[in-house]
Amino acid sequence: MIKKKQYLTNKMSRYSRHIVLSEIGQIGQDKISNAKVLVIGAGGLGCPILQYLTAAGVGTIGIIDFDVVELSNLQRQVLYGTSSLGLNKAIAAKAHLQNLNDAITINTYPEKLTHLNALELFNSYDIIVDGSDNFNTRYLVNDACLITNKPLVFGAIYKFEGQISVFNYNNGPSYRCLFPNPPEKGTAPNCSEIGVLGVLPGIVGSMQANEVLKLILEIGNVLSGKLLCYNALTCETSILKIKRNALAVSAVLKTQHNFKNTQIETGCEIQVANLNIQDAIAQENIQFIDVREAHELPKVTDLDITYLPLSTLETNLHKIDLLKKKALFCKSGMRSKHAVSVLHNLNITNCFNIPQGATEIINFIKERNKMISNAK
């Protein structure tokens, strides 16, 4: 009993600077405690979003990210330190955030958001926040928000500029009302190699966290029907008005019964790098990935193979070792080439195609084994 009382006092004290605001008060703070917010991506945008929502006391926070922390992330992804390198971002973020506020529930999903898991996941939350880093995920998030009727707090960045909006709120426009379809191949950068000023996602992510709190508290003017464009170099902001496009919205809603079968679109055309069998086998830190379907023969033996059929690639990304070089193969190099391109668009890099295919790999290993036994 004493413990509970103490906890309540602590709670009053922790959020006192919120509670003292007449626009929030205890009622508003209770709204924050009861809110459930899902953050897509715990990267540049996700870190500040998560940090402020956790500090504010959002009662349930979901974090979905399949990626691991790399050294080049630390320049802007402020939840992580050198001790987080190689760890899954959702899990590493939770470890940091739970220390910031242990009174909230943080659910981690160390997996890729896909058409298969999106609807069910979104249904468990009130507000969805997009901090992803590629067009495929952004359109998936938008469409799943339309189908599950959840407000979407959108943020995206490019070098020194940011875009922020709240979509699908009170019958307001969606992302497709602004940009109806993903950009055609080669017409917009969609790759993780683009540079970005480290503080920019901090600014844009904080603006997203601000919109989330306004949605929860029902205060101020939510950035619905508007796109805020921010330029870090000029400190200029422009707010552009967006109208709801009923056709674009209804086209998405029509897909809801077949949503799980929707194929991922590849965003940017890439030059798929090939690796020959000899070089691949000579590498130590390499993962061999067979993208053929389960029934296809012959299987490659004498090598540690990860089986990731192209048809279910998107749902099995957790099997990919992000810290290793990846060598993909199929029967003749076509599907593995496509798979490398798909992975690249999901920002899974360091993937190579073995164009000769499984039979040639088997022959190579047979020859090598023969040579080894002859040499003995």
Partner 1 sequence: MRINIKYFGQIAEVTQKEEESLEFSGIFVSDLLNSLFSTYSELKNTSFKVAQNQELISNTTKVTGAEIALLPPFSGG
Instruction: Point out which residues bind partner 1 (CB under 8 A).
Output: 41, 43-46, 130-135, 138, 155-159, 161-163, 178-179, 183-184, 186-190, 194, 196, 201, 227, 229, 231, 234, 238-243, 267
Number of Cβ atoms within 10 Å of the Cβ of 80: 22
For residue 112, CA distances in Å to 259, 266, 316, 317 come to 16, 16, 8, 7
Query: Would you say 264 or 305 has its CB closer to partner 1?
Result: 264
Q: In the bound complex, what is the minimum distance in angstroms from residue 371's beta carbon to partner 1?
A: 48
- Side-chain half-sphere CA neighbours of 56 within 13 A: 30
Q: In the bound complex, what is the minimum distance in angstroms from residue 66's beta carbon to partner 1?
A: 14
Please state whether beta strands 236-241 and 286-290 pair in parallel, antiparallel, or not at all (unpaired). unpaired
In three-state secondary structure terms, 109 is strand
Query: Would you say 91 or 229 has its CB closer to partner 1?
Result: 229
Query: Would you say 132 or 353 has its CB closer to partner 1?
Result: 132
Q: In the bound complex, what is the minimum distance in angstroms from residue 243's beta carbon to partner 1?
A: 7
| DSSP 8-state secondary structure symbol assigned to residue 213 | H
Query: Would you say 11 or 159 has its CB closer to partner 1?
Result: 159
CA-to-CA distance for 180 and 247, rounded, in angstroms? Answer: 10
CA-to-CA distance for 311 and 221, rounded, in angstroms? Answer: 44
Q: In the bound complex, what is the minimum distance in angstroms from residue 43's beta carbon to partner 1?
A: 5
Query: Would you say 178 or 291 has its CB closer to partner 1?
Result: 178
Number of Cβ atoms within 10 Å of the Cβ of 78: 18
Q: In the bound complex, what is the minimum distance in angstroms from residue 48's beta carbon to partner 1?
A: 11
CA-to-CA distance for 142 and 174, rounded, in angstroms? Answer: 7
In three-state secondary structure terms, 42 is coil
Residue pair 261/133 in contact by the 8 Å Cβ criterion: no
Residue pair 29/53 in contact by the 8 Å Cβ criterion: no
Query: Would you say 100 or 194 has its CB closer to partner 1?
Result: 194
Query: Would you say 29 or 136 has its CB closer to partner 1?
Result: 136
Q: In the bound complex, what is the minimum distance in angstroms from residue 223's beta carbon to partner 1?
A: 14
| Residue 49 tokens, joined | 């979003």
Q: In the bound complex, what is the minimum distance in angstroms from residue 168's beta carbon to partner 1?
A: 17
